[in-house]
Structure 1
Amino acid sequence: MKYQIHHKTVYRYAEPVRRSVHELRLAPRSGPLQSVQAWSLSAPGSLSEARDGFGNIIHNFTLAGPARTIAITATGEVEVMSTQSGDAGGHHAFHDLPDAGESRVSPLYFAGSTALTHAPADMRAFAAPFLAAGHEVPALLALADGIAGRVGYKANTTDVATTAADAFRLGSGVCQDQAQVMVAACRAFGIPARYVSGYFYDPAATELASHAWADVCLDAGRALWCSIDVTHRCLTDGRHVRLAVGRDYASAAPIRGIVEGGAGETMEVDIAITPLA
């Protein structure tokens, strides 16, 4: 599948922003599951580009002077492989190795919990039966299915500060929460797992939004992973476009920023995903 993607985020302020610093993870990178054909970003400041220790492409900009509106736009074309390549005993998996000359953290770095992905005792007890016999792909898919049933999808019940433990006990959340519960549950049993931000193409959706899912490491020594969409209870496929990975939402968020001034903030997001022949 090949897609044209247009993602625009506009922040508006009742009182002007005096100064702001922004960090963007809005540029997908080519890898084993996708090929970026073209991509561009626009923002009201001069963009600098770098790579973080997870392999993500990061852009930063600083805006000085009064501003009531900050608009950030990402657009481009990405070709996605229809399925994950076969490996690990015939199951779907992929190798995510650093490019030549690139420094990146070990997959084992994703085995430690964070404030957003701490697994309390009730979550560990819930996950234990699924992982008792190991963490092969069928067991992980069963765990994802269990999480989707336990943390039902319901918009506007959580926010970006909601932890996996909070969403698990609440019993509802959005894709971000379901992915973080999956990550937390795996890490509770020593299995490296990472949060993934990106896009999901649904031709029936009237409004498209950013999506989130989880990568789970099958073999740290070979950097072998599988990618699981808890919300849709499946392995990722030709509908998924990856933007960034992190230990949790906070380290993979598409946009992060600090502003001085700027009271009364509102945000509008418009995402369009068009399949290309």
Structure 2
Amino acid sequence: MKYKIHHKTVYRYAEPVRRSVHELRLAPRSGPLQAVQGWQLSVPGNLSEARDGFGNIVHSFTVTGPAHTLVIEAGGVVDVTPPADGDAPLFCDAPPAGEARVSPLYYLGSTPLTAAHPEMVRFASPYLAAGREVPALLALAGGIAERVRYKADSTDVGTSAREAFGLGSGVCQDQAQVMVACCRALGIPARYVSGYFYDPQASELASHAWADVCVDADRELWCSIDVTHACLSDARHVRLAVGRDYHMAAPVRGIREGGSGEQLAVEIAIAPLQ
């Protein structure tokens, strides 16, 4: 599938922002699951571009002077190419020549957002007792979707996997972080993925999140699992960034001076192309 995507983020402030610094992971990279055929960013400042240790494209910019409104826009065309073999939906995500990237084993370490409580380990262990192949990982994802029910606005970006698991509800971000936490606690490298999910029936589209699980660290072989939809990632998924948790893959991060009374509005449009 090929998609035309437009992502608009608008910040409004009751008190003007005096100065702000922003870091964006809003530019998808081409890789084994997708080909980016053109992408643009529009921000109120001069963009600088770099790659982080996870391979993500990172842009940063600074806003100086008073501002009541800040608009960030991103968009372009992405051709999604999921693994062709449905029985072995693995993909190799080794860095290209000349690019340094963290080892898959780095994704074994927990973070404050992805630390697993002993109860989470007891919950996850039976699913993987017979093996750690894709069917077992999908079964674990299905169990998490049942245990942490999807409920809009029940958590926020600071909610940890432990908190969401205890609450028994959350959004895609929480379900993905619980999956990541459970896998890591059982010795399986896993990472958080931010991106988009195309649903033609949805009245409003939003950013999405799922998990990559490494099944062979030596060969850097991964499978990509959407806990929210209890499926492997497929032609509906567009990847933006990966990281150890939400904070490391967030589409927009920043700090500011001033700017009290913040209001945020996000608009996402995804159109399939022939």
TM-score (norm 2): 0.99
- Separation in 1 of the partners of 2:36 and 2:89? 22
Q: What residue number does 1:61 align with? A: 61
Q: Distance in 2 between matches of 1:16 and 1:45?
A: 16
1:84–1:236 Cα contact (<8 Å) kept: no
Aligned length: 274
Note the residue ranges of structure 1 that are not aligned, 5 or more in a row.
Answer: none
Q: Give the corresponding residue for 1:135.
A: 132
Instruction: Name stretches of at least 5 consecutive residues in structure 2 with no aligned partner.
Output: none
Pick from 210, 213, 227 the counterpart of residue 213 of structure 1. Answer: 210
* Whole-angstrom distance in 2 between the partners of 1:189 and 1:86: 27
Counterpart in the other structure of 1:115: 112
Provide the rounded CA distance (Å) in 1 between the counterparts of 2:141 and 2:74: 30
Deviations 1:86-138 (A, max 9, x none): 39xx4210000101100000000001110000000110000000111221000
Paired residue for 1:194? Answer: 191
- The residue that corresponds to 1:181 in the other structure is 178
Deviation at 1:79, TM superposition (A): 0.3
Q: Which secondary structure state, in structure 1, belongs to the residue aligned with residue 125 of structure 2? A: helix
Other-structure match for 2:36: 36
**Displacement of 1:240 after TM fit?**
0.2
Q: 2:259 aligns with which of 251, 258, 262?
A: 262
Counting only pairs closer than 5 Å after superposition, residues 75-154 of structure 1 correspond to structure 2 as 75-81=75-81, 83-86=82-85, 90-154=87-151
For 2:83, give the aligned amino acid: Q
Structure 1 outlier segments of 4+, above 3 Å: none
Length-normalised TM-score, structure 1: 0.98
Letter of the aligned partner of 2:144 in structure 1? I
> SS of the counterpart of 2:102?
coil
1:7 matched residue in structure 2: 7
Conserved in 2, the CA contact under 8 Å of 1:197 and 1:252? yes
Deviation at 1:202, TM superposition (A): 0.1
Q: CA deviation at 1:257?
A: 0.4
Q: For residue 102 of structure 1, what is the amino acid of its counterpart?
A: E
1:229 aligns with one of 214, 226, 229 = 226
Match of 1:162 in 2: 159
Give the secondary-structure state (helix, strand or coil) at the position aligned to 2:218: helix
Shift, 1:35, TM fit: 0.3
Q: What SS does the corresponding residue of 1:214 show, helix, strand or coil?
A: strand
> Aligned residue for 1:70?
70
